[in-house]
Every structure is written in structure tokens, then in C-alpha cells.
């Protein structure tokens, strides 16, 4: 219970900070409105986290992939607009399809769930690929690509 209250308080502080930054006012009525909104949002965030049994636990090395994302986004943007150009100019269908890439499912601990969420998010970040999920039985990540790239792995 104390842990849940602590998590709620963390959410509240974070959301209240966002309110103050975005609202750009420290008038009492504005702060009260923000405190109420942040309290409600923190309650909903904690409720959803509880219902989904989701806890975030992260390793610093997982964030290393973030460095490669801008380059991947730029490359994929060229790819998808190239496909659009060919579609408009020649009526050519993009060679799209689903692919299964090796990706260890892992365990159901907070760390395992966070890892999967980050893998899926990073795979869906650049425009040419969107992840559907990681199949627990086969240890593969299913992705859809607008222009299929045969030579890469999920991790």
C-alpha cells in the first residue's frame, strides 16, 4: 500500500511539474486546478499500471539504441517516400509484408516487460517498420515493413 501511495505521489509530482511548465502561471487558482488534474491523472495512471500488472524496470544499456534511432528514422523516411514516389509515378506497389525477426521473449518480471516494451517501441519508431509483438512460443518479433528489408535482426 505504501509503495502504491509512493508511486501515486511520484506521478503527481511529475504531472504537476508538467502543469506548471505548460500552464506558465503560479496563480493560486491555476495551481489548484493543476493539483486536482494531476491528482486525477496520477490516480488513473496508477490504476492502469495496477490493472496491467506493469512495472517499469530499466537497464541503462537498453537506452543505448536510442542513439541509432534518428539515423534510422532519416533512412526509413527516404525509403517510405521513395515507395510513395514510385507508387505515384509508375503505379508500383511497395513490396510490403510481415517479417519474423529473432527476439528473445524473456521472463515476466518487471525488467522483462520493460525490455519488450522498449523493443517494440524502438521497432515501431522509424516509418518503414511497425512491430506487432513478440511471440512467446517462437521467440520472434513480428513486424510489418512497407519496403521489406531481408537482412536485419530484431536484436
Partner 1 sequence: MTAQGIAADVLLGLAAALVLASSAGILVMRDTYQKLHYLTPLALIAPLIVGLAVLVRSGWSENSSETWLALLFVVIGGPFLTHATIRAARIRDKGDWRPGTPPAQGAGTPPAGQGESDHGAGGRDG
Whichever of 3 and 90 has its CB closer to partner 1, that residue is: 90
Binding to partner 1 in span 35-74, by CB under 8 A: 73
- Please report how the helices 2-23 and 28-51 are oriented relative to each other, as an axis angle in degrees rounded to 10: 140
Out of 30, 39, 41, 94, the only residue in the binding site for partner 1 (CB under 8 A) is 94
| DSSP annotation of 104 | -
Asked whether position 152 contacts partner 1 by CB under 8 A, the answer is no
| Per-residue CA distances from 11 to 4, 37, 98 (Å) | 11, 12, 37
Out of 27, 52, 53, 88, the only residue in the binding site for partner 1 (CB under 8 A) is 88
* DSSP letters for 34-71: HHHHHHHHHHHHHHHHHHTT------GGGGGGGGGHHH
Binding footprint of partner 1 on the chain (CB under 8 A): 18, 21-22, 24, 73, 76-77, 80-81, 84, 87-88, 92-100, 117, 120-122, 124-128, 130-133, 135, 142, 144, 146, 148, 150
Amino acid at each position: 500500500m505504501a509503495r502504491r501511495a509512493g508511486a501515486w505521489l511520484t506521478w503527481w509530482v511529475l504531472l504537476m511539474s508538467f502543469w506548471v511548465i505548460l500552464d506558465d502561471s503560479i496563480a493560486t487558482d491555476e495551481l489548484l486546478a493543476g493539483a486536482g488534474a494531476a491528482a486525477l491523472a496520477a490516480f488513473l495512471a496508477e490504476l492502469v499500471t495496477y490493472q496491467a500488472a506493469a512495472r517499469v524496470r530499466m537497464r541503462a544499456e537498453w537506452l543505448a539504441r536510442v542513439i541509432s534511432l534518428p539515423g534510422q528514422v532519416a533512412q526509413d523516411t527516404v525509403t517510405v517516400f521513395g515507395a510513395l514516389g514510385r507508387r505515384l509515378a509508375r503505379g508500383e506497389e511497395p513490396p510490403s509484408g510481415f517479417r519474423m525477426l529473432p527476439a528473445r521473449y524473456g521472463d515476466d518480471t518487471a525488467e522483462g516487460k520493460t525490455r519488450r516494451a522498449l523493443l517494440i517501441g524502438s521497432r515501431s519508431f522509424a516509418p518503414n517498420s511497425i512491430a506487432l509483438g513478440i511471440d512467446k512460443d517462437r521467440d520472434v518479433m513480428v513486424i510489418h515493413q512497407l519496403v521489406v528489408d531481408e537482412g536485419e535482426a530484431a536484436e
